[in-house]
Amino acid sequence: MPHAERAKYDYDLFVIGTGPGGEGAAMQVAKGGWRVGVAERYRQIGGGCTHWGTIPSKALRYAVTSTMKALSNPVMRELGFTVSPTMEQLRRGTQAIIGRQVTMRQSFYDRNNVPIHRGQARFLDEHTVSIDNGEPITAAHFVISTGSRPYRPSDVDFTHRRIFDSDTILDMEDKPTTITVYGAGVVGTEYASMFRNLGIKVNLVNTREKLLEFLDDEIIDALSYHLRDQGVIIRHNETMDRIEGRDDGVVLHLKSGKVLKSDVFLWANGRQGNTDDLGLQHLPIEADRRGQIQVDEQFQTCLPHIYAVGDVIGIPSLASAAYTQGRAAGMHMLGHTSGNLRLNDIPAGIYTSPEISSVGSTERELTEQCVPYEVGHSQFRSLARAQITGETVGMLKLLFHRETKRLLGVHCFGANASEIVHIGQAIMNQPDEHNTVEYFIETTFNYPTMAEAYRVAALNGINRLF
């Protein structure tokens, strides 16, 4: 849009939502010299990532794993430490972390002269919004980055004090003895793992045949085995019939006829895009039944000047992906259409205990594509660093082309998986002849480290060739 035409509007770009996607778009375009404004309906910026999802859940996970690891240390036991931390104690540091995140992110908007309009933004027409039905605000371009919330079916009573979703579970006051988690996607498996680490008995009900079917089959098997080894009861191919909230617990009735009772119940089956109060009825843009907006490869809706990024457009529903999508949308507005910011190279990070992370192709995909590949493994139990820390559960798996030795996939299950995967990610994206497993064989890794698993796995795989 020519500068003279943009000048007719209050802003060159107006962003709805200050989560990772909105922040990425706003900062990218503001640094490009455009006039940018944002709207945020919550009392603080940061979106669901900062306040209900990624940050608080990962902070709680760290508190749980570090506390229970310390309490299980033989030295601590010898000193007589046998305490059982409360949920309030485990959550205590979370608000401080959220506060630091909010302060840091507020400084981004302040330094780049991006004003924040507080309240619910609603479209009045294709170039106009109002904040809480106030004065109209016009913009040449818009980015919808309103995020998502847990999907809540109408026949589940979420007002019951023992029935939670992934937003409200973080405020649970008392530590239960048993919990049923319905939905075994990323959120469900993460919480099942976390609660089991607290010594809580867990029923994990999966509506599909396998856990996390998008992962490599060997990683799925490892996760399933480890959860069961910890004591999690996993039930596959099950569907809810009804949920009965009682004074002394929650009873889940399954269509298979099974009945499960636990102290509390966590609904973790799907997300809903936050589009129901955006005024989309005034636009040709339509959200699907889960509130998600369809976009093209440049994150444009059916109206080219209105973009959508992050959870509101669906998968992969990752904070990291949302930020990159927001930046990509901003670059497209600025005319930088050649750089795709490696949008198809986003690693999965799943914060179970231990972690899972992957990037690239799975064995299943390579087999279906008839790609001649080979596998290299490194079991963490053989790494000196893992033996020192006691975190010996897990493995690193490399998939590479038998002929060119090009790295095709990296899959990791174990301590620091979400960090380790980036080494492989970097090599996968090097030019041809520099993106092979031979890099790991020819490179010296610090010893002892978890990253050394790359050398072990590469040697293991190369030795299979003939």
Q: What are phi and psi of 9, to 5 degrees?
A: -105, 160
The whole-number pLDDT of residue 91 equals 87
Beta-carbon count within 10 A of 8 CB: 10
Per-residue pLDDT tens for 329-347?
999 999 887 556 777 788 9
Class of domain 3-69+74-150+272-333: alpha beta
pLDDT of residue 4: 74
Query: 438: Cβ–Cβ under 8 A, 6 or more apart, which residues?
Result: 405, 458, 462
What span, in angstroms and rounded, lies between the C-alpha atoms of 379 and 393? 8
Give the per-residue SS3 of the chain.
Answer: CCHHHHCCCCEEEEEECCCHHHHHHHHHHHHCCCCEEEEECCCCCCHHHHHCCHHHHHHHHHHHHHHHHHHCCHHHHHCCCCCCCCHHHHHCCHHHHHHHHHHHHHHHHHHCCCCEEECCEEEEECCEEEECCCCEEEEEEEEECCCEEECCCCCCCCCCCCEEECCHHHHCCCCCCEEEEECCCHHHHHHHHHHHHCCCEEEEECCCCCCCCCCCHHHHHHHHHHHHHHCCEEECCCCEEEEEEECCEEEEEECCCCEEEECEEEECCCEEECCCCCCHHHCCCCECCCCCECCCCCCECCCCCEEECHHHHCCCCCHHHHHHHHHHHHHHHCCCCCCCCCCCCCCEEECCCCEEEEEECCHHHHHHCCCCEEEEEEEHHHCHHHHHHCCCCEEEEEEEECCCCEEEEEEEEECCHHHHHHHHHHHHCCCCCCCECHHHHHCCCCCCCCCCHHHHHHHHHHCCCC
Average pLDDT over residues 71-92: 77
Long-range contacts of 190-193, Cβ-Cβ distance < 8 Å, separation of 24 or more: 190/57, 190/61, 190/350, 190/351, 190/352, 191/57, 191/166, 191/266, 191/268, 192/227, 192/232, 192/352, 193/227, 193/230, 193/232, 193/352, 193/353
Contact by Cβ (8 Å): 265, 243: yes
The pLDDT value recorded for residue 176 is: 96
**What pLDDT was estimated at residue 340?**
61
Known binding-site positions: 58, 146-148, 183-190, 270, 311
Distance CA 219, CA 438 (A): 24
On the question of pLDDT at 98 being above 90, the answer is yes
Most confident of 136-150, 324-338, 344-358: 136-150
pLDDT band at 314 (very low <50, low <70, confident <90, very high): very high
Q: What is the pLDDT of residues 244-256, one digit of tens each?
A: 999 999 999 999 9
Q: What is the pLDDT of residues 167-190, one digit of tens each?
A: 999 989 899 999 999 999 999 999
What are the angstrom distances between the C-alpha of 4 and each of 9, 14, 29, 250? 10, 18, 18, 62
- Superfamily name and number for 354-462: FAD/NAD-linked reductase, C-terminal dimerisation domain (3.30.390.30)
> pLDDT tens, 257-276?
999 999 999 999 999 999 99
Determine contact, residues 14/34, Cβ cutoff 8 Å.
no
Contact 388, 399 (CB under 8 A): no
pLDDT of residue 446: 95
What are the binding residues for FAD? 58, 146-148, 311
Q: Is the pLDDT of residue 207 over 70?
A: yes
3-69+74-150+272-333 and 354-462 agree in CATH topology: no
Domain boundaries, the chain: 3-69+74-150+272-333, 163-269, 354-462
Residues forming the annotated binding site for NAD(+)? Answer: 183-190, 270
* Whole-model pTM over 0.75: yes
- pLDDT > 70? residue 216: yes
| Residues ≥6 apart with Cβ < 8 Å to 457 | 376, 377, 378, 396, 397, 398, 440
pLDDT tens-digit profile of 22-78? 999 999 999 999 999 999 999 999 999 999 999 999 999 999 988 888 877 777 667
Average pLDDT, the chain: 93
Q: At the topology level of CATH, where does 163-269 sit?
A: FAD/NAD(P)-binding domain (3.50.50)
- Output the pLDDT for position 258: 97
Token reading at 363: 């064995």
